[in-house]
Amino acid sequence: NDGNDSPHVIPGVIMPGESGTFHTKTRHIFRVYDEELGLLREHNVSQASDHIVIHEACHVVDKEAIQREMESLVHNQTEPCLPEDASPEWSCIRYIPRNEYQRRLDEFAGTVYGFSTKEESQTREIGDTEDKEWSFNIPKIPRVTTSGPGFLKMSFTKRMNEILLPWYKMHKKGGPRDMVRQHHVIRGGFTNSHTVTMSMLNIPHKLKLDLIQEMRRVLMWWTGGRPLEETATFGIRIYHRNSMLINHVDRADTHLASAVLQIAQEGVDQGWPLEVLHPDNSCSEVYLQPGEMVLYEGARFRHGRPMRLNGTDFANLFTHFRPYDWHGPGNSPRYDNQLDHDGFLKGSPSSSSTTKDEL
């Protein structure tokens, strides 16, 4: 930043042994952080050709320790949803076959699922539960994980628990330092926020930076160590009774590796899952409890909460990242016209186009 309390900008990540070039201006302050050791160097930019070399303070990441830590946080993805009659208590993933999912929509779209009135649906139809306008991008979006269904359910890290949950309790509605405000109307016709008001509790800048640093660590582990750039982190968004969000794909240029963080839920009469739609139109319902999160490839897989919330408050925080060499379809030479039908790079170990002789 420029040293005058202007916002910090995170221009990128430099991996150990690599170099990086970042555009800035004279009089700006350039800071280098290590994800474990914190601030390594602060430099006042005095000329356009300034450069920084760091040797002695470099931190060698213990990849095995990170692997053990993350594996200890990952949930059993096939754990049954129990007790059967207590969905507000569920922490699980429930698979819904395609035919059963379609029967449910046929019976309950417009009441339990999707838009219920023309005032809500506006240019869409009553009962709509999915946006299909941007689905044409899906074949052009690369997978950022090497296997699996494109999502993963797990617990917060220790650091996330320390910085997020106590802060929310302090500043939530009715808390000692209540900072909750009305949420703006979300454009695009994906929600009914213009008729069912939501609330927002903006996290402070320092907490946001800490969270971005921690989530980069989590998502880089999930994507196999791939360097990631943070593109958006926002919340805490608080949904209220009858809120809904139709299934959709996220922004194709910025939202490739993402996470929904479950911060709190109050007065919930029925579990409110994040739906992830599979290519065959079957569905996985992801149920979370506070202190849990789901990682997901949001630009590749359709997802949302088309079920109308049956509860008082449901608080989520969202964060989105992308690989540094991804700039959207048509602007990413490494990936454009290089993906197989599953989204993997042709010839890569994950690709169905790779022959056994190539492996």
For residue 105, which amino acid is it? L
State if pTM tops 0.95: no
pLDDT, tens digit, for every residue of 251-300? 999 999 999 999 999 999 999 999 999 999 999 999 999 999 999 999 99
Q: Quick check: 304 and 249 in contact, CB under 8 A? A: no
Q: What is the pLDDT of residue 220?
A: 97
The model's confidence at residue 44, banded by pLDDT at 50, 70 and 90, is confident
pLDDT, tens digit, for every residue of 148-204? 999 999 999 999 999 999 999 999 999 999 999 999 999 999 999 999 999 999 999
Taking residue 346's Cβ as centre, other Cβ atoms within 10 Å add up to: 12
The model's confidence at residue 214, banded by pLDDT at 50, 70 and 90, is very high
Sign of CA dihedral 190, 194, 199, 205: positive
Sign of CA dihedral 239, 243, 246, 252: negative
> Does the pLDDT at position 30 exceed 90?
no
Compute the distance between CA of residue 355 and CA of residue 359 in angstroms, rounded to an integer: 7
pLDDT, tens digit, for every residue of 123-162? 999 999 999 999 999 999 999 999 999 999 999 999 999 9
Which is more confident, 37 or 247? 247
Q: What percent of the chain clears pLDDT 90, i.e. is strictly above it?
A: 80
- When the pLDDT of each residue in the chain is averaged and rounded to a whole number, the result is 90
Tell me which residue has tokens 């408050």: 313
Compute the distance between CA of residue 35 and CA of residue 232 in angstroms, rounded to an integer: 19
* Chain centre distance of CA 84: 28
pLDDT, tens digit, for every residue of 67-89? 999 999 999 999 999 999 999 99
> Does the pLDDT at position 230 exceed 50?
yes
To 5 degrees, how large is the angle CA 55–CA 226–CA 92? 130
Q: What is the pLDDT of residue 357?
A: 41
